[in-house]
């Protein structure tokens, strides 16, 4: 995917804009450094994640009277580096003709659409100077970076320059003033920093770029359903996923994907109940398929010791998907050790497959149905319990919301 060259050309192909490490390469690059070897980049911070974000953007261009006008509206999805304000952005050029520029994406009127300024022959934004400081791209200062030297940008430097960008764009008479926008109380932390590391190759007379977006935080916000590309805002489980991930009860399969239709596993179930219980101390797990180095070892040790879940004599089967009746039994036991009243039972005869619930699970399934933790599945005109079917991560998110809001609240 190509990295946009906003200062050189305008294009409506916004889908080509990408980040965290995206390259602008011709089909057959003659320069061996073109694949990214022209620079080393390291982003360090106490906390960082890189979710995919939808970025609506308006591109402003300066006209002959030095006035900026909107010329193009774009909406693209790209990874964004969310980092805490102890950020250090380290750049080490590996050759000559490497430069670094910073553009400031602002949302002055708070409408959710960012402003990006393109100055054409008189560039807007900042450039890293040969001395290692950020200065206006039109300052005329030397931008010849030394190969092998490490240059460092700090969050404090970016915040200060972001504040200056906000001031310039909201001050009548300034070179970067955007007329017609009613500014809100915008803080420099809300600026999206677009950092471009570029290289002009003498071998093939071509330009190559690495692009990064940075968003700075005092403390990273909790995750939300909006972070995941596979959780649509109109999906029935959107609110449940948002509830579960924002409270740390579930996490995405990656930074940008939740995998709502993937099956719940026994390890995930054990870990979630362990977290709901405040991560109490536990003994040692004796299962051969759960080594003490596994992420789920403490949780499986606890659910086994507490009698909430069990395996056979040697194996727990952490990666196996529990059935719906197994999930009901686990939640039933968890409710009992939590001191909840589990005597309410729904009549299962109203379900076409109610007779298929195993004897060992009937009380648990009856309780789970009565509390709304287990809902029937429609099949034509029939309502099914599907006791032997597995549970998706989306369904489990809904179970967790019900468990937390309607069931566990009984004990408070």
In tens, the pLDDT along 27-36 reads 455 677 877 7
Give me the percent of the chain exceeding a pLDDT of 90: 63
What is the predicted pLDDT for the residue at 222? 84
Token pair belonging to 411: 């004990």
Q: Mean of the pLDDT values across residues 7-23?
A: 29
What is the predicted pLDDT for the residue at 411? 54
Q: Mean of the pLDDT values across residues 86-101?
A: 95
User: What are the Cα distances from residue 383, in Å, to 53, 355, 402?
Assistant: 39, 13, 20
**Residue 77 pLDDT greater than 80, yes or no:** yes
**Residue 114 pLDDT greater than 80, yes or no:** yes
The per-residue pLDDT of the chain, averaged, comes to 87
**pLDDT tier for residue 26 given thresholds of 50, 70 and 90:** very low
Q: Are 340 and 277 in contact (CB under 8 A)?
A: no
Residue of higher predicted confidence among 25 and 96:
96
In tens, the pLDDT along 250-287 reads 998 887 789 999 999 999 999 999 999 999 887 778 89
**pLDDT tier for residue 175 given thresholds of 50, 70 and 90:** confident
What is the predicted pLDDT for the residue at 29? 52
Which residue bears the tokens 């009565």?
Answer: 370
Phi first, then psi: give them for residue 98, nearest 5 degrees. Answer: -105, 135
Read off the DSSP letter of residue 409: G
What is the predicted pLDDT for the residue at 101? 95
What is the predicted pLDDT for the residue at 181? 87
Question: Which residues in 42-56 are b (16+ Cβ under 10 Å) and which e?
Answer: ebebeeebbbbbebe
What is the predicted pLDDT for the residue at 120? 65
| Distance from C-alpha of 406 to C-alpha of 367, rounded to nearest angstrom | 13
Helix (H) or strand (E) holding 105: strand 98-105
**Residue 98 pLDDT greater than 60, yes or no:** yes
Token pair belonging to 262: 């993937």
**pLDDT tier for residue 355 given thresholds of 50, 70 and 90:** very high
Q: Are 208 and 191 in contact (CB under 8 A)?
A: no
Give Cα 176 distance to the centre of its chain.
Answer: 32
| Distance from C-alpha of 88 to C-alpha of 84, rounded to nearest angstrom | 10
In tens, the pLDDT along 121-165 reads 677 899 999 999 999 988 888 899 999 999 999 999 999 999 999
What is the predicted pLDDT for the residue at 307? 94
**Residue 299 pLDDT greater than 70, yes or no:** yes
**pLDDT tier for residue 203 given thresholds of 50, 70 and 90:** confident
Backbone region of residue 205 per phi and psi (left: phi > 0; alpha: psi in -120 to 50; beta: other values): left
Strand 114-118 and strand 207-217: the pairing is unpaired
DSSP 3-state assignment of 174? Answer: coil
Question: Can you give the residue ranges of every domain in the chain?
Answer: 14-217, 225-411
What is the predicted pLDDT for the residue at 30? 64
Instruction: Give me the DSSP letters along 107-147.
Output: -TTSSS-EEEEE-TTS--SEEE-TTS-EEETTS-----PPT
Rounded to 5°, the CA angle 210-56-80 comes to: 40
**pLDDT tier for residue 410 given thresholds of 50, 70 and 90:** low
Q: Please, which contacts does 300-306 make with residues 24 or more away whose CB atoms are closer than 8 Å?
A: 300/267, 300/270, 302/270, 302/274, 302/277, 303/270, 303/273, 303/274, 303/330, 306/282, 306/337
Q: Mean of the pLDDT values across residues 56-72?
A: 90
Phi first, then psi: give them for residue 27, nearest 5 degrees. Answer: -60, -35
CA dihedral for 173, 174, 179, 182, sign (positive or negative)? negative
**pLDDT tier for residue 49 given thresholds of 50, 70 and 90:** confident
Residue of higher predicted confidence among 339 and 35:
339
Q: Are 398 and 243 in contact (CB under 8 A)?
A: no
In tens, the pLDDT along 209-237 reads 999 999 999 988 888 998 888 999 999 99
């Amino acid at each position: 995917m190509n990295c946009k060259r906003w200062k050189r050309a305008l294009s409506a192909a916004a889908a080509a804009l990408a980040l965290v490490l995206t390259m602008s390469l011709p089909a057959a690059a003659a320069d061996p450094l073109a694949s990214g070897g022209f620079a080393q980049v390291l982003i360090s911070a106490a906390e960082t994640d890189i979710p995919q974000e939808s970025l609506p953007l308006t591109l402003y261009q300066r006209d002959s009277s030095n006035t900026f006008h909107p010329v193009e509206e774009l909406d693209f999805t790209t990874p964004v580096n969310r980092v805490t304000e102890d950020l250090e952005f380290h750049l080490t050029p590996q050759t000559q003709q490497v430069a670094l520029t910073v553009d400031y994406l602002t949302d002055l009127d708070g409408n959710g659409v960012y402003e990006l300024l393109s100055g054409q022959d008189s560039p807007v934004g900042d450039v890293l100077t040969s001395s290692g400081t950020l200065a206006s791209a039109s300052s005329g200062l030397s931008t010849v970076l030394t190969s092998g030297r490490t240059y460092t940008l700090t969050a404090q430097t970016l915040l200060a320059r972001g504040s200056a960008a906000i001031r310039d764009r909201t001050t009548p008479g300034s070179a970067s003033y955007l007329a017609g926008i009613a500014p809100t109380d915008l803080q420099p932390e809300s600026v999206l920093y677009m950092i471009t590391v570029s290289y002009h190759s003498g071998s093939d007379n071509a330009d190559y770029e690495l692009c990064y977006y940075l968003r700075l935080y005092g403390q990273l916000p909790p995750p939300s359903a909006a972070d995941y590309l596979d959780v649509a805002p109109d999906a029935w489980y959107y609110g449940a996923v948002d509830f579960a991930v924002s409270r740390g009860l579930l996490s995405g399969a990656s930074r940008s994907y939740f995998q709502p239709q993937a099956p719940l596993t026994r390890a995930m179930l054990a870990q979630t109940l362990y977290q709901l219980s405040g991560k109490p101390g536990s003994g040692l797990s004796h299962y051969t398929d759960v080594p003490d180095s596994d992420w789920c070892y403490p949780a499986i040790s606890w659910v086994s010791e507490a009698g909430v879940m069990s395996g056979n004599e040697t194996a727990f089967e952490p990666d196996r998907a529990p059935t719906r009746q197994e999930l009901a039994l686990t939640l039933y036991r968890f409710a009992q050790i939590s001191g909840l009243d589990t005597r309410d039972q729904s009549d299962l005869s109203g379900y076409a497959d109610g007779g298929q619930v195993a004897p060992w699970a009937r009380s648990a399934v009856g309780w789970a149905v009565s509390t709304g933790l287990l809902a029937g599945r429609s099949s034509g005109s029939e309502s099914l319990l599907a006791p032997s079917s597995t549970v998706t991560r989306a369904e489990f998110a809904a179970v967790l919301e019900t468990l937390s809001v309607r069931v566990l609240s009984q004990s408070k």
